[in-house]
Amino acid sequence: MKQLARSILGAAALAAISTAVLAERVLRLDEVAVGELDPGKASDYADSILMFNVYDTLVLPRQGGPGHVPHLAETWEGSGSEYVFKLRSDVKFQSGHPMTADDVVFSLDRMQGLGQGLSFLFANVKSAQALDAHTVKFTLAEPYAPFISSLVRLPIVDKQLVMQNLGEGEGEMGDWGQSYLSDNSAGSGAYKVTAHNPQEETVMAKNSAYFLGVGEKAPDTVRLRYGLEAATVRTLIAQGEHDISSQWLPPEVKKALADDGNQLLTEGGTGSFYFKMNTQKAPLDDINCRLALANAFDYASVLKLIAVTDEISEGSATTGAITVGMFGSRPVGNELMRDVEAAKKHLEMCTYDPAEFAIEISWIAEVPLEERLALLLQANLSEVGINSTIKKIPWAAFAGMVGNPENTPNISQIFVTAVTGDPDTLLYGMYHSTKAGTWQSPEHLNDLEVDALLDEGRIGASDAAREAAYLALNDRLMTIAPSIYGFDSQAVFVARPGISVPALSDPAKAFGLDTMGFLFRLMEIE
């Protein structure tokens, strides 16, 4: 009898365990490698997904409209060169340490000390001072119009935890905890990292102690995979073994998966697709050579290549150097058009003989669509007498090679977005001479007028002043053509049925900032 009772109890326990396993909500998605976990280095899409889920910021973009709302901050006041923030008192890091003004000050100091990622956003911040445990004051060296928006890129780190894990390096702070934060998290976010391999996968678990709470139907576990082939993703989704694709699947694959009953989710409006021309290496160090290429490109045909369905596309026609809707953009109705005759005239004025050079067009190996775009550009150039070659480069290799103009391809294909939603963070990192040689700026542009206009856009005392600066910048960039402005981008993702992502499907809940749609705490799995 006792043996029977034990058997019944054992079966019941197994059933309970099985039910718990079945009830676990797991979200599986993919992105281009490499996933940088250190929030002070985060700059691209995969990094940002990690940062926004593992860490928190003082403010967040407002859903469904412009502006920003409090997050770790309760309120703020100030303008010009001084801002004071009152912090929430109920926030704890995943370590259990309470979040205070000292953590905010340390996070800024660390960002500036590393000088990597998006640290340029805070180059103008003279100091941050903890006025008390829950009040922090920022002092800027000079007014910076987009300062509030830039704070969405200042993740607040756990000072105590980082200080306990400083590695070797110069100065009092050693490596600022880089070795530790490359594999571990020190945030207060809704998800905590349980395993991390930047080449393969990051695994995250719901933080049950999150100060805003996390919905019952939000993923319990998230598996962010890196560098999956398009064919692999298609097969996994079709078999129900993958939940959300990256935006990099070819359009026809997305359409086929949608035809099979999967959802198409969209995010866009803050960036564009660029063919970036190396302005420091022959032959594209000549303005007329660059203008020849810009006029030879078929802007109408590229829109056909990026269409997913009749209703959904991965982009729209561009009107110039600045994404439509931002300060300085030319309105709809001024779309760029191919002009073969103009291309030939510029080619005649080029100091180099087209017969004696071949343009190298690179494309990112993890983004299959870019191979087609490279082939389109190659065909366009051939029609005006320009020879070109196409080279496939893995993302990690590309990011490492562009630091030197001589190692940078003649033409690089890149999607760039405004990392805070403000045009300053779309344009400054691409075209200011101090930022040359990053993955955003393989043009290696060095133009005094461009630098001056970018600086004006940063410090404009009014929206009108900023608009004027960016309009002039748009004109200057179109005149010197450091890039071919292919199209204004819209990211399209495939999601299986049963995954609810309001920020990527309902305009009233969209953030207006790329990557923010992937806040896992706002998703639901049925």
The 10s digit of each residue's pLDDT in 121-134 is 898 999 999 999 99
Assess whether pLDDT exceeds 50 at residue 463. Answer: yes
Nearest-angstrom CA–CA distance, 216 and 324: 39
Residues near 153 by Cβ (< 8 Å), separated by ≥ 6?
57, 118, 121, 419, 420, 425
487: which 2 tokens?
């199209």
- CA dist list (Å): 145 to 66, 125, 421: 15, 12, 13
Classified as helix, coil or strand, 262 is coil
Nearest-angstrom CA–CA distance, 253 and 26: 24
Assess whether pLDDT exceeds 50 at residue 17. Answer: no
The 10s digit of each residue's pLDDT in 43-101 is 888 999 999 999 999 999 999 888 899 999 999 998 889 999 999 999 999 999 999 99
Q: Domains in the chain, start-ordered, CATH in brackets?
A: 28-226+496-525 (3.40.190.10), 267-490 (3.10.105.10)
Residues shown for the chain = 526
* Torsion angles phi and psi, residue 145, rounded to 5: -55, -40
pLDDT score for 2: 45
Task: Starting at the earlier edge strand, list the strands of the sheet with 191-197.
Answer: 26-31, 221-226, 201-206, 191-197
Assess whether pLDDT exceeds 90 at residue 460. Answer: no
- Higher pLDDT: 33 or 237? It is 237
The 10s digit of each residue's pLDDT in 154-212 is 999 999 999 999 999 888 999 999 999 999 999 999 999 999 999 899 999 999 999 99
DSSP per residue over 281-350, as a string? STTTTSHHHHHHHHHHS-HHHHHHHTB-SSS-BSEE---SSS-TTSTTPPPTT------HHHHHHHHHH-
Share of the chain above pLDDT 90, in %: 81
* Torsion angles phi and psi, residue 269, rounded to 5: 100, 0
Omega of the bond prior to 34 within 30 degrees of 0, cis? yes
- C-alpha count within 13 angstroms, C-beta hemisphere, residue 415: 23
* Torsion angles phi and psi, residue 132, rounded to 5: -160, -170
Assess whether pLDDT exceeds 80 at residue 303. Answer: yes
* Residue 64 C-alpha from the chain's centroid: 19
Nearest-angstrom CA–CA distance, 502 and 499: 10
Query: Cα-Cα-Cα-Cα dihedral of 258, 362, 268, 150, to 10°?
Result: 140
**Termini Cα distance of the chain:** 42
* Torsion angles phi and psi, residue 306, rounded to 5: -100, 5
pTM, rounded to two decimals: 0.82
